[in-house]
């Protein structure tokens, strides 16, 4: 992940509503969730939700697909994994285990 992409992702996640949206979509799994259901679950007006979803799409943390008349949003797991890898890349001089982080190899 490039530094500029990491900054965009972290900036998007630094806003509470956007973090709530990402957490909800991660919980929804690969099938995602329709925009209306996200709005209902988080109690957000559609215009507010739309604004936040645009920011998350710009940061490449969510993606959208159309199914009939619905827009289905899903978490972009590869981007999240890349962000985590970027953040831990320099952790404890390249040894995440030394920072107390558990990795698959540990």
Mean pLDDT of the chain: 90
The whole-angstrom separation of Cα 97 and Cα 45 is: 43
pTM of the entire structure?
0.83
pLDDT tens track for 14-59: 999 999 999 999 999 999 999 999 999 999 999 999 999 999 999 9
**Band of the pLDDT at 103, cuts 50, 70, 90?**
low
What does the pLDDT read at residue 24? 98
Could you give the C-alpha distances from 5 to 1, 34, 45, 103, in angstroms and in order? Answer: 6, 26, 28, 23
Given a cut of 80, whether residue 96 has pLDDT beyond it is no
Fold (topology level) of 3-99? Arc Repressor Mutant, subunit A (1.10.10)
One DSSP character per residue, 51-88 reads: HHHHHHHHTTSEEEEEETTEEEEEE-HHHHHHHHHHHH
């Amino acid at each position: 992940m490039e530094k500029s992409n990491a900054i965009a992702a972290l900036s998007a996640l630094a806003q509470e509503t956007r973090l709530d949206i990402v957490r909800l979509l991660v919980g929804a799994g690969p099938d995602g969730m329709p925009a209306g259901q996200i709005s209902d679950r988080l109690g957000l007006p559609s215009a507010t939700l739309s604004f936040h979803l645009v920011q998350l799409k710009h940061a490449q943390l969510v993606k959208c697909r159309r199914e009939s008349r619905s827009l289905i949003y899903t978490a972009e797991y590869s981007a999240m994994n890349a962000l985590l890898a970027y953040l831990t890349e320099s952790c404890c001089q390249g040894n995440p285990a030394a920072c107390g982080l558990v990795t698959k190899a540990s």
